Amino acid sequence: MPTPHYGQPRYRVIAEELRKRIESGLIPPGALLPAESTLAVEFEAARGTIRQAIAVLRDDGLVTTEHGRGTYAITRPHGRHSNRPSQHIRESEIAADSDLAFIFNIEVGAPLIVQESVIRDGGRTEEVIRAYRAPRSDQ
């Protein structure tokens, strides 16, 4: 599927998705974003497109990127954005269902960490993001 850019161009859509992850706290302040190549796989986009998306966030002061290092979420949302969507973040441990067990290649019932953030705009729920990962083994 080459290039259907209905409405918004891809790089802007990707930028918005990353923005949500940062503003919702899913990518906490100071944390490293996945590498450009990783994001390229994730979003099924070319690296150039990812770089364009990150450039948008950098322009907005949401991230900084260091040569040879990576791109960080900014420590503090400097500007007071009044329209900042409200957010809930909670982390909990769950048992993997068959679906997740398959993806992670673990046993059904094995523990997984799930981080859920809810993005609200006014009274309306805009998006719910759930991030599953394996528990840290190194404590």
Partner DNA sequence: AGAAATTTGTCCGTATGTATC
Partner DNA sequence: AGATACATACGGACAAATTTC
Q: Which residues bind its own copies (CB under 8 A)?
A: 17, 34, 38, 41-44, 87-88, 100, 103-105, 117-121, 124-134
Q: What angle do CA 107, 32, 39 make, to 5 degrees?
A: 70
Q: Which stretch binds DNA (CB under 7 A): 44-52, 89-97, 101-109, 124-132?
A: 44-52
Asked if residue 33 binds DNA (CB under 7 A), the reply is: yes
Taking the complex as a whole, the smallest distance from the CB of residue 36 to DNA amounts, in Å, to 4
Query: How far is CA 21 from each of CA 5, 31, 44, 68, 110, rounded to the nearest angstrom?
Result: 23, 11, 17, 23, 26
Asked if residue 48 binds DNA (CB under 7 A), the reply is: yes
Which 71-100 positions form the footprint of DNA (CB under 7 A)?
71
DSSP, residue by residue, 47-65: HHHHHHHHHHHHHTTSEEE
